[in-house]
Amino acid sequence: MTDVLMPRLSDSMQEGTILTWLAADGDDIVEGQELVEVETDKATMTQLSDASGVLSIVVAEGTTVAVGEVIARLQPVGARAPAPVVAAAAPEPVAAAAPAPDGSPAATSNGGAPSPNGSAAEVPATPMARRIAGAHGIDLASLAGSGPRGRVVRADVMAAAGLDEAAPAPPASVRDPAPGAAAPPAADARTPDGPAGGRGGTERVALSRLQQLVARRMAEAKATIPEFQVQTEVEMTAAVAFRAQLKELAESQGLPAPSLNDLIVKTCALCLRRHPRANGSYADGAFELHDRVNVGVAVAAEDALVVPVIHNADSKTLGQIASESRRLAESVRAGTITPPELSGATFTVSNLGMYGMTAITPVINPPQAAILGVGAIRDVLARDGGGEIVDRKLLSLTLSCDHRILYGADAAKFLAAIKQLLESPLGLAL
């Protein structure tokens, strides 16, 4: 018999939550088969089986256990207990041989026990996709996944359910069962004075482990880090023209074109190398100066802010940064990002310019020394050196700093270096 333990999927992981078993009790498992989806403090991971045998599940879905605890056992094939397996499999032939023509869940779910022909449990899908599919009776096996390696993602299930992508239904596990959560008339019925004058319903949504981590880290940062900000405005006319040239060149070669945010990431990486304090952290009364420049890029996921990391960004070309940033962002939105891709950042860039925000004052992500907030580029009129009125493209940058390692002059010099390089962007090509 082989014990299946809760794996340690990152250095900071202390416990994990069983999201979805990808096989059923009594199934034959082969070594290397996808076995279970585990939610950690950094991401959701699919754990592969390290051995072969008959699966005996110990920890149910939705349960949180410590790293190293037994979550399942693999019995030798000859030790299969026939009674539970036969009882669970008895109704399957009828459902499999005569599926309902309307594709209802009762006809396609295989009674909850996966089969070699492709049950919902065997379909590669993100946890959010599974939750929404379960809430709306969507058979995952009937969907063509648009995620990496054919993985079914939230958007696939939303489209199949005919739901508006801009207003997704909450997962069934955290949805308020009160009628008012689903239909306005029911809400009016339970509030006699109507929504304007009476008491409305309250929906309590449980935080995912990732949301809990973000909340805890941000609260700790505000409570323990003596933070200050410096801000500047960058004249981005040259950078915008430079990016247009790069885009034309990249498209002619069938390559991803660097975005303005990619230019900012590369700029920060080069300046971090020249200003090691900004690439460091404060720990136990000492400065820790890192020899690698790893830039985190904040990405808005479905229900949380996720920061994948571009490692060794100072030594990568703009083309490499463009390709990697897109791949990481897609992995975040598809729910396939891995803990190593979220670990090791020494600095973070948080850009809200795409939402039209002119400036952002971000919160430091400890133990990093600083984080750069990026706003939207604004078209303004200004006078040039000769007094003529000209068009200018201005970008607001705000650097939030840990005062224990970065002092005002240090922060000003670092931000001034970023400004200078963005205003003369040819230096990024060297």
- CB-CB contact of 39 with 20 (8 Å): no
DSSP one-letter string for 348-400: EEEE-GGGT-S---PPP-TTBSEEEEEEEEEEEEEE-TTS-EEEEEEEEEEEE
SS3 82: helix
Eight-class DSSP state of 125: B
Amino acid identity, residue 49?
S
Catalytic pick among 136, 290, 311, 403: 403
Indicate the SS3 state at residue 113: coil
Query: Which DSSP string do the residues of 259-302 spell out, in sequence order?
Result: PHHHHHHHHHHHHHHH-GGGGEEEETTEEEE-SS--EEE-EE-S
Between CA 211 and CA 209 the distance in angstroms is 5
Amino acid found at 426: L
> Tokens representing 2?
């082989």
* CA distance linking residue 244 with residue 270, whole number of Å: 21
CB of 52 within 8 A of CB of 31? yes
Phi/psi of residue 310, nearest 5 degrees: -95, 105
* H/E segment holding residue 321: helix 318-334
CB 341 within 8 A of CB 331: yes
* 403 in active site: yes
Q: Provide the token pair at 56.
A: 């005996």
- CA dist 117 and 135 (Å) reads 23
From the list 134, 135, 153, the residue with the least C-alpha distance to 144 is 153
The rounded distance, in Å, linking the Cα atoms of 396 and 68 is 47
- The DSSP bridge partners found for residue 45 are 38
Residues labelled catalytic: 403
